[in-house]
Structure 1
């Protein structure tokens, strides 16, 4: 099993493209688009997430995906697990009554929101996104889940940029990452 996991991680790693100085000078952008283009690699990502969840969080009720790349992986994982999927979106993108949280960006503020009835108190949720950089968006999603009185089991990402120390911002919640840079 460990060899299979390692070969899947290597496959995913080979499908991460890097772009220096994007979107601005000094940033090394990690691009997940090649993962989406290759069915075997996308399957490997979902396999790895599924293995983690089944081993560590078999009681999960919902996968909560962050706008927008969490929407690519979250529904596939939720379907595999036989659980629901819920969206955390940028302010103004969801119909009906919503709950929102403001958070800081590098140059300003933003708001994340969820439909008011998307998560019920006590539901066990896992948050998913593609990348953990500064942790601002995931932290906002955690705050939204607290407002909804959900039980947060943890966070999952494909890539964690360790040098930015976002894990500290998300404590006490755990973060599972497939790859660390």
Structure 2
């Protein structure tokens, strides 16, 4: 028996965006505050799309269907950005390319006094971006796990948006 699939509502997709963003940010909050893992600058960059996705999800859930289609697309673009940042960070971890974030590099100082050298130091020490964190003994870094999570959320959201687009309501 082939049952027709129910269309996905924009409210459900908006709620999914909010939930997916909250889970991603909840995991990194747990890792930072309970597991005491220090984030690097690229880790902080990777959090931004999830915050934006939560906002997009709230707007998607509240907008009428004809306008919410655009915010659903914006959510997909946000997820693609998250995937891209994860690929960028994983490449830095595997030393395929250098980090684009200046905070990830050690400060260099040439000449001058000890006072000048101390003034050139960053206000807070940063974790190197090419130093991956591994959870629970898995051979996959948190960056790679975050990227896989972003891909999974993207695929689910893409399927939902296609099902949303097929319905006439």
| TM-score, normalised relative to structure 1 | 0.27
Report which of the two has the higher share of strand: 1
For the pair shown, which has the larger CA radius of gyration, 1 or 2? 2
| TM-score, normalised relative to structure 2 | 0.28
Report which of the two has the higher share of helix: 2
